[in-house]
Structure 1
Amino acid sequence: MAVRDELGRAKSRSTKFRVQNTSSMGWRSTSKHWWLWMQVVVVLVVLASEFGVHGQDLGTWEILLANAGIASMHAAVTNYGTVVLLDRTNIGASQIALPNGTCRDSNDLVLPHDCTAHSVLFDPSTNTVRPLTILSDTWCSSGQFMPDGTLMQTGGDFEGIRKVRTFVPCPATGNCDWVESTTQQLQQPRWYATNQLLPDGRQIIIGGRAVFNIEYIPPSANGPLYFDFLNATNDGQNDNLYPFVHLLPDGNLYIFANRDSIVYNYVTNTVVKTFPRIPGEPRNYPSAGSSVMLPLLASNQFSVVEVLICGGAQYGAFLEPWTRKPCSITCERIVVTDPNPIWVEEQMPIRRCMGDMILLPNTDVLIINGASIGSQGWGFADDPVLNPVRYMPYGSPDARFTTLTPSTIPRMYHSTANLLPDGRVMCAGSNSHQFYTFTGDYPTELRIDAFSPPYLSASVAPIKPTISVYPLQVTYGTPFTVTVSTPSALTTVIELNLMSAPFNTHSYAQGQRLVNLNVGGSVQVAAASVYQITATAPPTPQIAPPGYYMMFAVNQRVPSVAVWIRVTS
């Protein structure tokens, strides 16, 4: 609104100037004419600079699929480059049939005999989907990949609230599908919980609605452990759901819920550090801010850890949605490893809640999706935010944000965003209704689109690297070599960044991390700008839990297409 108002004032001033100077008074002086027009030009230039419209590339959008068959409440990219999309089952029929004429008979509240799919596998190389079979309700569930690449998916609602499901990825042409365990279930019901892969390969599952404890997969012998932090951060809106969880390089967990955060030692079940309360609004579901742990850097031996939290809804926006309270405009950043950490506030260009924060391979953060009014919930938000915003964490503090090209598709409640191996960010979903509803201001969204950040523009082609030779597996702390080619000769050392494939849901990417590798330099091995780069694998599983990562080569902040590499002991 501020943008439109300022542009309107500039246009008004320009129009007024033209009327005054074409009246019977004539031109009073050439110098005055020049000066007034310069004022108008300055206003427009300032506006263009503020919103990034000054010749630089601001990214592009493309529709990948007009109808995925389901809305996307959860999404994860597999090590085959395919994307698993999930919606809830207790929603009635979707728009894609189960394969081979099969149907699902269950105690579903809406459609007990259901012949449609509520999960699909999307192939970005062909922009097609294949239906998958999910049997129990995955509404507001959680998940993360295991070390062998299996997607572990837990909890949900109704008959799915204790379910454990697995998806073993296969090539896009394969027939892999969901398997729901008949012998294992969660020790506690989990709805709106968070999963985190641990250094030993287990998953820790934290919280859920009215569940103030933690548990593990595989389960621990002593059962769920009471976790008072979740009880202490509860409020009248339950703003401690989907807590933000980041595995720290020392093996402890940084856990944020509502407005408070701690460092938790899960081995001893103790809180080892407490942080100041974050200023402003609640930040977790249903208030729906988002969080990332900023890249772990080899340059400081992975010893400095910063967490960034952006957006959120005002308290009461969920309890009284008719008030249409404006969302937060702040980002708060804290150095977790500081002896006396404090929150440092920055202002986003646009108010936002329900935004997704996606780490990009060049260490930037993309803030995408969401609304500027309201909170999460059925129809509780308005004024969708169509412009992604780029945040450059290592840029000048007064120039870290850039407003990028807007989408044409509102994506608010129950939407997802995931980084693809080619560097695009895929967006799917948005359904602020209890069932599929294709009328009204914000109908259920079945389209899939992708945003190409500025580093994918044609102008950077001369410096874009390509990975040609690489190991499929590396061992902690050991050196390895990668062959990289560039269209033009290198002027800087190529960076190598490992990026996890998180489980994205409800404005938070569970398990997301970027690990910048220690690179010893590059040696030119051919005249055509081909280089052999020596790097060292992450030193410990605390820095990079075992599993599959996308490895990007980055030349002057321009990333290659990623290759998949497994990190293991």
Structure 2
Amino acid sequence: MDASKLFLFVFVSTIVYTAIVARADLPGTWELLVANAGVASMHTAVTRFNTVVLLDRTNIGPSRKMLRKGHCRYDPTDAVLKRDCYAHSVLFDLQTNQIRPLMILTDTWCSSGQFLSDGTLLQTGGDMDGVRKFRKFAPCESTGLCDWKELQDVELSEGRWYATNQILPDGSVIIVGGRAANSVEFFPPKPGGDIHFPFLADVEDNQMDNLYPYVHLLPNGHLFIFANDKAVMYDYKGNIIVRDYPPLDGGPRNYPSAGSSVMLALEGDYSTAVIVVCGGAQYGAYLERSTDTPAHGSCGRIVATQPDSVWEMEDMPFGRIMGDMVMLPTGDVLIINGAQAGTQGFELASNPCLFPLLYRPAEPAGLRFMTLTPGSVPRMYHSTANLLPDGRILIAGSNPHYFYKFNSDFPTELRIEAFSPEYLSADKANIRPVLEEPPETIRYGETFTVFVSVSLPVVGIVEVNLGSAPFATHSFSQGQRLVKLPVTSAMPSGDGRYSIGCTAPPDGRVAPPGYYMVFAVNLGVPSVARAFKSRHPKRI
């Protein structure tokens, strides 16, 4: 891992698709991409090669995709299949819709992940034989045979099950929490191993509502960490709580109470970071194994970088648990998937929430939510949502059962869908920009020029925005962020294109080193993502 480089690489999308309108009077369209992915994706990540890693757990018994001949997994402790020739991870090619099986050896149930600065997907922890494991997937072109690699020379200091990962400004990764793990540790490992983090113990309750904590890297270099109904600003270098935020009303929000969270787009001078937490289950639903206790629909929003800030409350149109919050290239947030009653856990939810919501941060409270076209496939426990380079949202997973079960009201879901926000509708085609090949390399803080072309004349500012590729699992996208670059007005270049002056992020606190999708956004309509590479950042 090269921690001294920020890579912003090309995500070129040549996908041709036709969308099926599910409800003409509401924005957005749905399409079926794959009828049978072979695995139900508990964890999903989009790579820089226009491929998607789908990952389930290994001890789930037979999937619907076989491994390559001669590549079976042998595990004498597996209660279902000691000789397992079924895939539990696959690679999905966005351009061909082809599925290739991947082989993973140790149990990845409720594990965590993050892309490293060199584009490798780091996968950490899980259950059983995977609880202390580090795994890596180095993505390759779809014609290659890249596969999972289990690291043998290093392991987690403490078992991590239901933990959260976040890449840091120097390119290392912090791993926060997990079941019975009130501590943090790092990859690459640091001397001394794990560090006790008492905040997680303080907020734990008899429902374990401190699992999969929400972790956001703030532009001041500290971490915003939320668990149960409380949050802190954490100096991970000194292991110091810098600030306690006020509790968020509405009860617990983390696993198993199943809310979600995003940090809104960083922009301007990058001094302000706003965190939003939405949805969750009523306290006690998990303890009582209640499937019909209504979810709540409250959202809290706080300026994390402002001293003495408090939560601003508002309500979604629907109560929702297990919803995924996805940062769109525009800076709006899509809330999708989930249910309106129950809690996280096997067969503990009901009344699927089929209506996505668009959260528009720039609107005043009370006007921020827009209801979008509903889907037809219930996406319950173990569903995921990820932004694609062409601006669509990939929807995968849903398996509320301990094993694969297809004769149920909410069966194991092997279909992969895509949701297209309204900005991809046909009437927006003339204002959709095309981002031309950007510079090959940039440096933190330097200025550079990009070129766009568009059918209609440009009116106003064309944004240039960087979107990370996070690791989505259990209603939270680990490492998700959107950075809006300072830009100059688009100027005609004399060849039918427009030139835009841009300034790169100042340092790794704003944009940690790694791979980013780079979008031009014209009048709220994003281009297909392209990218560039930055070297030799300023030292922090």
- TM interval, shorter chain, is over 0.9
Identity level (%): 56
- Equivalence for 2:302: 334
C-alpha separation in 2, matches of 1:473 and 1:291: 32
In the alignment, does 2:521 pair up with 1:554?
A: yes
Counterpart of 1:68 (choices 37, 42, 56) is 37
Query: How much does 1:323 deviate?
Result: 6.0
Counterpart of 2:453 (choices 485, 498, 512) is 485
SS in 2 for 1:563: coil
Counterpart of 1:402 (choices 357, 360, 370) is 370
Verify the 8 A CA contact 1:79 1:564 in the aligned structure 2.
no
Counterpart of 2:200 (choices 204, 207, 230) is 230
Query: How much does 1:483 deviate?
Result: 1.1
SS in 1 for 2:350: strand
- Equivalence for 1:358: 326
Q: Which structure 2 segments of 5+ residues have no match?
A: 1-21
The one-character-per-residue Cα deviations of 1:385-436 (angstroms, maximum 9, x if unpaired) are: 0010001000132321111001010001001100000000000010000000
Counterpart of 1:535 (choices 479, 486, 502) is 502
- Equivalence for 2:248: 278
Residue identity matched to 2:398:
S
Please list, as runs of the form range in 1=range in 2, the aligned pairs for 1:309-458 lying within 5 A after superposition.
309-322=277-290, 324-458=292-426
Verify the 8 A CA contact 2:23 2:374 in the aligned structure 1.
no
C-alpha separation in 2, matches of 1:290 and 1:478: 35
Verify the 8 A CA contact 2:291 2:350 in the aligned structure 1.
no
SS in 2 for 1:329: strand
- Equivalence for 1:305: 273
In the alignment, does 2:68 pair up with 1:99?
A: yes
Verify the 8 A CA contact 2:126 2:160 in the aligned structure 1.
yes
C-alpha separation in 2, matches of 1:496 and 1:424: 18
Counterpart of 1:565 (choices 516, 525, 532) is 532
Residue identity matched to 2:493:
V
Per mean C-alpha deviation after superposition, the further-off stretch among 271-280 and 388-397 is: 388-397
Residue identity matched to 1:142:
S
Query: How much does 1:288 deviate?
Result: 0.7
In the alignment, does 2:83 pair up with 1:109?
A: no
C-alpha separation in 1, matches of 2:174 and 2:75: 29
The one-character-per-residue Cα deviations of 1:283-316 (angstroms, maximum 9, x if unpaired) are: 0000010000000012xx0111110000000111
Counterpart of 2:178 (choices 205, 208, 217) is 208
C-alpha separation in 2, matches of 1:485 and 1:396: 33
Verify the 8 A CA contact 1:365 1:392 in the aligned structure 2.
yes
C-alpha separation in 2, matches of 1:215 and 1:339: 28
Query: How much does 1:55 deviate?
Result: 7.8
Structure with larger RCO (C-alpha < 8 A, sep 6+): 2
C-alpha separation in 1, matches of 2:500 and 2:305: 31
Verify the 8 A CA contact 1:493 1:521 in the aligned structure 2.
yes
- Equivalence for 2:51: 82
C-alpha separation in 1, matches of 2:24 and 2:67: 48
Q: What stretches of structure 1 move > 6 A for 4+ residues in a row?
A: 53-56
Change (3 A) 1:523 1:271: same
Change (3 A) 1:250 1:523: same
C-alpha separation in 2, matches of 1:357 and 1:534: 31
Please list, as runs of the form range in 1=range in 2, the aligned pairs for 1:16-55 lying within 5 A after superposition.
none
In the alignment, does 2:222 pair up with 1:252?
A: yes
Verify the 8 A CA contact 2:182 2:196 in the aligned structure 1.
yes
C-alpha separation in 1, matches of 2:385 and 2:425: 20
Verify the 8 A CA contact 2:71 2:103 in the aligned structure 1.
no
C-alpha separation in 1, matches of 2:442 and 2:508: 12
SS in 2 for 1:230: helix
Residue identity matched to 2:499:
Q
- Equivalence for 2:5: none
Verify the 8 A CA contact 2:490 2:500 in the aligned structure 1.
yes
- Equivalence for 2:16: none
Residue identity matched to 2:469:
A
SS in 2 for 1:405: coil
SS in 1 for 2:355: coil
C-alpha separation in 1, matches of 2:533 and 2:185: 26
C-alpha separation in 1, matches of 2:170 and 2:260: 27
Verify the 8 A CA contact 2:23 2:373 in the aligned structure 1.
no
Verify the 8 A CA contact 1:387 1:407 in the aligned structure 2.
yes
Change (3 A) 1:173 1:394: same
In the alignment, does 2:210 pair up with 1:240?
A: yes
C-alpha separation in 1, matches of 2:158 and 2:406: 36
- Equivalence for 1:37: none
The one-character-per-residue Cα deviations of 1:109-156 (angstroms, maximum 9, x if unpaired) are: 221101110000011111111000100000000000000000000000
Verify the 8 A CA contact 1:71 1:430 in the aligned structure 2.
yes
C-alpha separation in 2, matches of 1:397 and 1:103: 54
The one-character-per-residue Cα deviations of 1:451-478 (angstroms, maximum 9, x if unpaired) are: 0000000001111000112023321101
Please list, as runs of the form range in 1=range in 2, the aligned pairs for 1:504-543 lying within 5 A after superposition.
504-526=472-494, 528=496, 530-543=497-510
Query: How much does 1:338 deviate?
Result: 1.7
Verify the 8 A CA contact 1:549 1:566 in the aligned structure 2.
no
Aligned residues: 514
In the alignment, does 2:149 pair up with 1:179?
A: yes
Query: How much does 1:522 deviate?
Result: 2.4
Verify the 8 A CA contact 1:547 1:567 in the aligned structure 2.
no
Counterpart of 2:104 (choices 129, 134, 138) is 134
In the alignment, does 2:119 pair up with 1:152?
A: no
The one-character-per-residue Cα deviations of 1:343-369 (angstroms, maximum 9, x if unpaired) are: 111110111000000000011000000
- Equivalence for 2:232: 262
Residue identity matched to 1:440:
S
Query: How much does 1:79 deviate?
Result: 1.0
Query: How much does 1:547 deviate?
Result: 0.6
Query: How much does 1:567 deviate?
Result: 4.1
Per mean C-alpha deviation after superposition, the further-off stretch among 465-474 and 253-262 is: 465-474
Q: Relative to total residues, which structure has the larger helix share, 1 or 2?
A: 1
Query: How much does 1:206 deviate?
Result: 0.6
Query: How much does 1:479 deviate?
Result: 1.1
Counterpart of 2:463 (choices 477, 482, 495) is 495
C-alpha separation in 2, matches of 1:485 and 1:492: 14
SS in 2 for 1:460: helix
Query: How much does 1:56 deviate?
Result: 6.7
Verify the 8 A CA contact 2:436 2:452 in the aligned structure 1.
yes
Change (3 A) 1:54 1:147: closer
Alignment root-mean-square deviation, CA: 1.3
